[in-house]
């Protein structure tokens, strides 16, 4: 069983998000992004704005993606159902 670590993406994660998107043959996710790491390596990233995910197809990421979607979809008391991760930083895209 793989252990995942989740955290908001920051500007230092831009290269990792771009790499995940290239591996997934997709455009990088943008806006507020949460990332999943396994063994210290980025394996998935999800935009909290639209729920779009890019993931490394060479790792088992279904569980990480499911967990990100679950926690992103939980309504906070203040937002009444809006998608929200408290304290996320906007991922700068260039």
Shortest CA distance to 32 belongs to which of 64, 72, 67, 4? Answer: 72
Query: How many domains would you assign to the chain?
Result: 1
Q: What six digits make up the tokens of 35?
A: 């990332």
Q: CA 92 to CA 94: how far, in whole Å?
A: 7
82-91 tens-digit pLDDT = 444 444 444 4
pLDDT, tens digit (0-9, with 9 covering 90-100), for 18-29: 999 999 999 999
> How far is residue 38's CA from residue 61's CA, in Å, rounded to a whole number?
9
pLDDT (tens digit per residue) in 31-59? 999 999 999 999 999 999 999 999 999 99
Based on the number of CB atoms within 10 Å of its own CB, is 27 exposed (0-12), middle (13-18) or buried (19 or more)? exposed
Nearest to 44 by CA among 60, 27, 25: 60
d(CA 71, CA 92): 23
Domain span holding position 9: 4-91
């Amino acid at each position: 069983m793989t252990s995942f670590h989740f955290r908001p993406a920051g500007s230092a994660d831009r290269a990792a998000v771009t790499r995940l998107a290239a591996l997934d043959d997709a455009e990088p996710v943008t806006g507020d992004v949460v990332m999943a790491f396994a063994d210290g390596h980025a394996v998935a990233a999800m935009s909290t704005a639209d729920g779009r995910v890019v993931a490394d197809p060479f790792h088992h990421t279904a569980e990480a993606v499911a967990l990100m979607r679950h926690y992103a979809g939980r309504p906070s008391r203040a937002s009444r159902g809006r998608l929200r991760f408290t304290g996320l930083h906007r991922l700068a895209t260039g």
